Amino acid sequence: MREPKPSFVFPFPFMLIIAHWFLLVIHGSAAESSTYIVHMDKSLFPRVFTTHHDWFESIIDSSKSATLGNSSIQSQKVYSYSQAMYGFSAVLTSQELEAVKSSLGFVAAYPDRTATIDTTHTFEFLSLDSSSGLWHASNFGEDVIVGVIDSGVWPESESFKDDGMTKKIPSKWKGTCQEGQDFNTSMCNFKLIGARYFNKGVIAGNRKVKISMNSARDTAGHGTHTSSTVAGNYVSGASYFGYAKGVARGIAPRARLAMYKVIWEEGRYSSDVLAGMDQAIADGVDVISISMGFDGVPLYEDPIAIASFAAMEKGVLVSSSAGNGGPDLGTLHNGIPWLLTVAAGTIDRTFGSLILGNGQIIIGWTLFPANAIVEDFPLIYNKNTSACNSVKSLSEVAEGIIVCDPVSDPDLVFEQRRFVREANLLGAVFISDQPLVTEGHASSPSIVISAKDAPSVIKYAKSHKYPTASIKFQQTFVGIKPAPGLADYSSRGPSPSYPGVLKPDIMAPGSRVLAAFIPDTPAAAIGNNVYLPTDYNLLSGTSMACPHASGVAALLKAAHPEWSAAAIRSALVTTASPLDNTQNPIRDYGYPSQYASPLDMGAGQIDPNKALDPGLIYDATPQDYVNLLCALNYTQKQILTITRSGSYNCAKPSFDLNYPSFIALYSNKTRSVVHKFKRTVTNVGGGPAIYRAKVTEPKGSVLTVSPETLSFRYKNEKLSYDVLIKYRKYKKENISYGDLVWIEDGGAHSVRSPIVVAPSGIV
């Protein structure tokens, strides 16, 4: 079993910095406009104007004239300021902003920001906060029960209070609140309705082991974080040391939670995992969320595969993490055909800024856990010290903010950070476009900026006689573009356990997610000897992406209680988006020059509101999965380990599972391949409907769909179609991608399935 990297590193939680997030698009196209706050020099107020309002209006009008025909018709003043600051706010295009900057008395300008944001911000990023949609259709997931298989829970967290929850637990619930060390039954309530722990496997593996916390109480923070992400209650004023401050809430804030502790500091055994999942099914959960996985085991030896089959039989959707082994292909775990596998993406949020003495503001990335005063310090960049590669050289730096040379290797940035911290500098600026995995990254007053922003900083530091800079901490910026991007650490398909089903299925927010944490362990540090706890932590990993998908699945279960686990997965896959918030293909931050492929992110970013009404679904029965196992030539006993019942048969073995995506693998020894797929879709729309196929062929392939039109006469009618993929290999092996989209006449629904054609040797 590979433990998820994110949250077990002591004394600091696992964090992954996605450097591309640092880029804040301040200047849009000529046709775009944004609100900017503009600071002016009051001492240069022209006496020709009666009031400062008149002066500001004149500047705005002049900016329109300067841009001629390119001026925005929306350009307008929003506010004038004379007390708290001197200046104005206005809606300007990028060209108008440049004209304003050339005005007499201009000091600085920066985009208008949201002062406080809600939760992890991810529910907002996923558009769950709309006035209609899945939140409202599901009544926020009311009375759906989510079982979380993890490291336990911190029951005193505000995220697990039961304010606003109905006082009647669903009658299907058969679970309990198990007493144990520092944990009694009164700690459960109408939100956290159950808590159990399973460590017999740990004890059996080491008879001399002493369990340090023999109960469902969390001592790692991972389970507290994931469970509050799924269904945490509303908590005002949550933040990570002032970052991401707002109202915390889970994706399904009115769902019930049950914790099954199977991860222990003393070990993590498949037997305990299997026991926890087994009990969750028996207790009557609707959704299981499991942010862990097992590597290098066949399906019939994988406890998650085995337990999730039983869950699927009872209509329980299992949502799992893809793993943190990216960016290489074939590193994914939980590539199990009958569950949901979730990749991790970034969100449109970053923290902190660098302000140069010339007024330039650069949005960067920092999580230094205090509102440190690093203001108007000398900015230092010279060839002798800016390598930042030794404590000795940095110790010779005069007091100020050092600008370290840009590096491409995350390990080198880690070294730079360590040397800067040990040299006790007043501040530092690091330059990188590579994702950073840096334990203790926020322990010194520093900030990371992108390589794109670096030249202007270095030029200013070298060209001015007395360059200065300030670093602003505890700032939160949202609306960053482009977002989402595929996180570099997210494991990629194809699945080693069975590559014939395209995995992962979807991507969900997984980087820098704010959620509840345990308050008795260090979550940040200042310097080398000051460690700080927090009630809410920012963590990264597919462990954080999984509970987002679990929460959406819970909402769908509430809105469509009749849907099977396969139907819910299908709705999530066929409505996911392959585009970011600039309407361009989602980027892969493991390979910044490339777009993410279906092997990286599945169908794309999860879209909860569209999943509520997918139009068509690809359903599957337990026997369909057994037919796949039979085609794999598993022995009867191997199949029985998964199915637990001899009631299934192998009369119709088939590799062609009714899945909402396609992957065609060809042998390295052959130069051409023909794959035929048969799919059956169910009309879950409002009634009669006509769908027409639109195909984007993978490069080098000819793809035929038959029939090309599906005419449904009534709701829940099932129709079938075939897909024929002909591929010819040329000079070298090639991985190519495309999609099949069924578009309803009238445009009400668009049902998209990703397609991959690849050599079998990539597994």
Catalytic residues: 150, 222, 543
- The one-letter code for the residue type at 139 is N
Rounded CA-CA distance 731/190 in Å is: 62
SS3 of residue 60 by DSSP:
helix
Rounded CA-CA distance 45/22 in Å is: 35
Q: Are 155 and 261 in contact (CB under 8 A)?
A: no
Measure Cα distances from 413 to 677, 683, 720 in Å.
48, 52, 54
DSSP one-letter string for 318-353: EEEE--S-TTSTT------TTSEEEEEE--SEEEEE
DSSP state of 394: H
- Closest C-alpha to 555, from 482, 636, 476, 612: 612
SS3 of residue 623 by DSSP:
helix
Task: Quickly tell me which residue has 């925005």 as its tokens.
Answer: 72
Rounded CA-CA distance 606/510 in Å is: 12
Rounded CA-CA distance 552/612 in Å is: 10
Measure Cα distances from 551 to 264, 286, 293, 545, 761 in Å.
24, 11, 19, 10, 35
Q: Are 25 and 441 in contact (CB under 8 A)?
A: no
Rounded CA-CA distance 662/757 in Å is: 8
Q: Which residues of 565-603 are buried (b: 16+ CB within 10 A; e: fewer)?
A: bbbbbbbbbbbbbbebbeeeebbbbbeeeebbbbbbbbb
- The one-letter code for the residue type at 533 is P
Q: Are 17 and 343 in contact (CB under 8 A)?
A: no
SS3 of residue 163 by DSSP:
coil
SS3 of residue 304 by DSSP:
helix
- Closest C-alpha to 361, from 446, 465, 449, 430: 449
Rounded CA-CA distance 442/561 in Å is: 45
Measure Cα distances from 288 to 149, 258, 663 in Å.
7, 10, 27
Rounded CA-CA distance 754/763 in Å is: 18
For the chain, state the CA radius of gyration: 27
Cβ atoms within 10 Å of 450's Cβ, excluding its own: 20
Paired tokens of 89 = 């706010």
Residue ranges of the alpha helices (H) in 515-673?
542-559, 565-574, 598-601, 608-611, 622-631, 636-643
Residue ranges of the alpha helices (H) in 20-73?
52-66
Per residue, what are the HEC states of 210-231?
CCCCCCCECCCCHHHHHHHHHH
SS3 of residue 136 by DSSP:
helix
SS3 of residue 645 by DSSP:
coil
